[in-house]
């Protein structure tokens, strides 16, 4: 029986090279395809799934350590888990303030929240920040969203939503 000899330098290079050893995560699924009466985004459409696949193939996490935050279409966002390929759409749409001032969105790979200074809208629910108000609180109270465990989400167990508590990292 012949044994193959492998150059130890090649083995070491393979172990430490991200290009050679990188695992490509495939799109697994979308937690919610559409939200009733909230926005007209079909998060499971063929074109949106193509966007998620491109993001998984070409982007690094930019939100909450291992998520890619993606603007699926203007004002509609989704978080893609780079560990398992699941997409978590945001229930709310992000709107500019009624006085015309542009909404400000802030997020980071090191933070578990996406915070908005502007208006977050969902069916019969409007959350506006005081960024455009007057006085000492101006700009100090954003609306924040995160990935939260959801016992009612039968398939994936998490959702991307607003909450008054701090989300888990």
Residues paired with residue 69 on neighbouring β-strands, in sequence order: 79
Q: How far is CA 55 from the centre of its chain?
A: 11
pLDDT per position as a tens digit, 91-126: 888 888 777 778 889 999 999 999 888 888 876 566
Q: What is the DSSP letter of 63?
A: B
Whether the predicted model's global pTM rises above the 0.75 cut = yes
pLDDT of residue 26: 96
pLDDT of residue 37: 62
Instruction: State how far the Cα of 91 lies from the Cα of 156, in Å rounded to an integer.
Output: 16
Q: Regarding predicted confidence, which is higher, 164 or 123?
A: 123
Q: Regarding predicted confidence, which is higher, 116 or 58?
A: 58
Q: What is the DSSP letter of 133?
A: S
Return the domain boundaries, the chain. 27-162
Q: What angle do CA 14, 16, 17 make, to 5 degrees?
A: 65
pLDDT per position as a tens digit, 33-48: 987 666 688 999 999 9
Of 122, 147, 118, which Cα lies nearest the Cα of 132?
A: 118
């Amino acid at each position: 029986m012949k044994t193959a000899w492998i150059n130890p330098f090649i083995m070491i290079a393979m172990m430490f090279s991200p290009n050679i050893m990188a695992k490509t995560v495939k799109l697994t699924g979308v937690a919610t395809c559409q939200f009733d009466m909230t926005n007209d985004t079909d998060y499971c459409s063929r074109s949106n799934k193509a966007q998620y696949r491109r993001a998984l193939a070409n982007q690094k996490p930019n939100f909450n350590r291992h998520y890619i935050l993606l603007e699926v279409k203007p004002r509609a966002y989704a978080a893609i888990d780079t560990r398992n390929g699941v997409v978590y759409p945001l229930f709310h749409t992000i709107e500019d303030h009624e006085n015309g001032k542009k909404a400000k969105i802030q997020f980071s790979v090191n933070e578990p929240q996406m915070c908005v200074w502007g208006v977050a809208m969902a069916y019969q629910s409007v959350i506006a920040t005081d960024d455009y108000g007057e006085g000492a609180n101006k700009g100090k109270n954003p609306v924040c969203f995160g990935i939260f465990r959801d016992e009612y989400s039968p398939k994936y167990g998490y959702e991307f939503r607003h909450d008054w508590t701090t989300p888990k990292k």
